[in-house]
A and B are shown apart, each in its own frame.
Chain A
Amino acid sequence: MEGFIDMSDSQELSRRQRNQLNHRRLAGYTLVWLVSLALVYFGHRYLWDGSALVTTAMVGINIIAGIAMMMANKKLLAGLDELEQKVQLEAMALALGVGLVGGFAYSALSQTGILPFHAEISHLAVFIALTYLVAMVKGVKKYQ
């Protein structure tokens, strides 16, 4: 996974190669972030016997991986052309708005005991991700 490791500038590459490299890099860091997050939960329970110190350290590693993932995403966005950036911006704006409004509404329903189940942050993450995906598809179709 050369793109994941190589953080050097890739001006000499073609646009397609540069985008592929940036996508691979983002996928790599996303995988590391997800695995490190899963390891926090799994390890806390099964590997280091609930040690607060180790769990805190693992959360620190998870945050570092998350920052690397965000930087990779920033680099990916910077490498896109202006229409692609516009489609991304519109999709992210919608996902953020829907996530914010939906998240607070979901939280309110949960806090007031109206929801018959416990509200989880993962539900919100899935909701935001699905909104982003639908907005991306609509955005791409809009400019075809």
Chain B
Amino acid sequence: MKNRLKVLRAERDWTQADLAERLDVSRQTINAIEKGKFDPSLPLAFKASRLFGLTIEEIFQDD
């Protein structure tokens, strides 16, 4: 699954650690999601959606 987390994060000038803190996950988890190595759960996707004020589909796209 592809995602725009890295772009959205960069637009806000946030580090991976900043985003991790806001989503209450580890920095390694953000890194794994950004690299497409790990797909987040639906609750975490909703959390990201609320944080960025976007729909889940605007952040995560199926391959």
Q: Which residues of A contact B (CB under 8 A)?
A: 14-15, 81-84, 86, 140, 142-144
How many Cβ-Cβ contacts under 8 Å join chain A to chain B?
34
CB distance A83 to B24 under 8 Å? no
**A15-B26, A142-B37, A143-B38 as given contacts; A83 in contact with B21, CB under 8 Å:** no
Q: How far is the CA of A12 from the CA of B25 in the complex (A)?
A: 15
Q: Are B29 and A144 in contact (CB under 8 A)?
A: no
Closest 4 CB pairs of A and B: A81-B25, A83-B29, A143-B32, A81-B29
27 residue pairs of the A-B complex, CB under 8 angstroms, read: A14-B21, A15-B21, A15-B24, A15-B25, A15-B26, A81-B24, A81-B26, A82-B25, A82-B29, A82-B40, A82-B41, A82-B44, A83-B25, A83-B26, A83-B28, A83-B32, A83-B38, A84-B26, A84-B28, A140-B28, A142-B37, A143-B28, A143-B32, A143-B37, A143-B38, A144-B28, A144-B31
Inside 8 A of B29's CB, which chain A residues have their CB? 81-84
Contacts of B38 in A (CB 8 A): 83, 86, 143
**Chief secondary structure at chain A's binding surface:** helix
Chain B residues packing against A (C-beta within 8 Å): 21, 24-26, 28-29, 31-32, 37-38, 40-41, 44
Chain B nearest Cβ from A141, distance in angstroms: 11
A142 cross-chain contacts in B, Cβ below 8 A: 37
Task: Give chain B nearest CB distance to A135 CB in angstroms.
Answer: 16
